Amino acid sequence: MTTTLKHPDLNAVNPELESAEAEGIVRWAHNTFGEGLVLSTSFGMQAAVMLHLVTQVVPDIPVIFIDTGFHFLDTYKFADQLTDRLKLNLKVYQAKQSAAWTLAQHGKLWEQGVEGLNKLDQIHKVEPMARALNELGATATLAGLRRGQTENRKNLPTAVKQGDRYKVHPILTWSTKDVHDYLTKHDLPYHPLREQGYTSIGDWHSTLPITAGMDERDGRFGGLKQECGLHRPETQEEDDSRFSSGL
């Protein structure tokens, strides 16, 4: 039977998790949070890594996918492919209004600077995710953030508490090479748009391919910010700069 510890001592646990293998971190999270543990995915560039890694340990874990209504068609096809192959227990959540309705009410929010992008994220990502976590009774979420992705993520611990819930990052210390090696070892695919120069996949209106010398997340949000809204920074200042961002 899975043991559930509602309030782990993160100060004591994080030093141990720092040197643990990714699979071991997933097992710790499962043993700690039991049925309250969920996995979130955007079916992005390297999504197959976390989806495969976690479901090898917890096959029936609820996998939350926030359908913004603005994903690339290739993302939906990729989601279907991985859901079928890995037999995912997929839980799809959407905003309470359609993407078309948001467009009618507010215009092209993605062309209205950081304020517009944040409003769009709140409607189509943050609110649906909060609803998903509440309805699924989640006490902790596994997420595939890595320290090398953005400046703010360099400071993340393996396990953090955000409000009343916890977030655990099993591949936080992995490099881009580690990700590639895992995908290759298990014959897992990258997102199909990789072949067109994309390195970080979000909504079609705020994602561009990159060129040589650019950071892997430089194609997101026109350089105005690097975070999607689900992984909120602790302060507004952290989100104001593309070099300092925070799920």
Distances (CA, A) of 137 to 46, 62, 167, 242: 27, 11, 14, 33
Cα angle for residues 69, 127, 121 (degrees, 5° grid)? 55
Of the residues 188, 228, 230, 247, which is catalytic? 228
Residues contacting 121, CB < 8 A, separation 6+: 228, 229, 230
Q: Which two tokens stand for residue 91?
A: 């839980």
Would you call 40 a catalytic residue per the annotation? no
* % helix, strand, coil for the chain, step of 5: 45, 15, 40
> Radius of gyration over alpha carbons of the chain, in Å?
17
Element (H, E) at 142: strand 140-142
Positive or negative torsion for Cα 46, 52, 58, 62: positive
Provide the CA 140 distance to its chain's centre, in angstroms: 13
- Residue 125 DSSP SS3: helix
Which residues carry out catalysis? 228
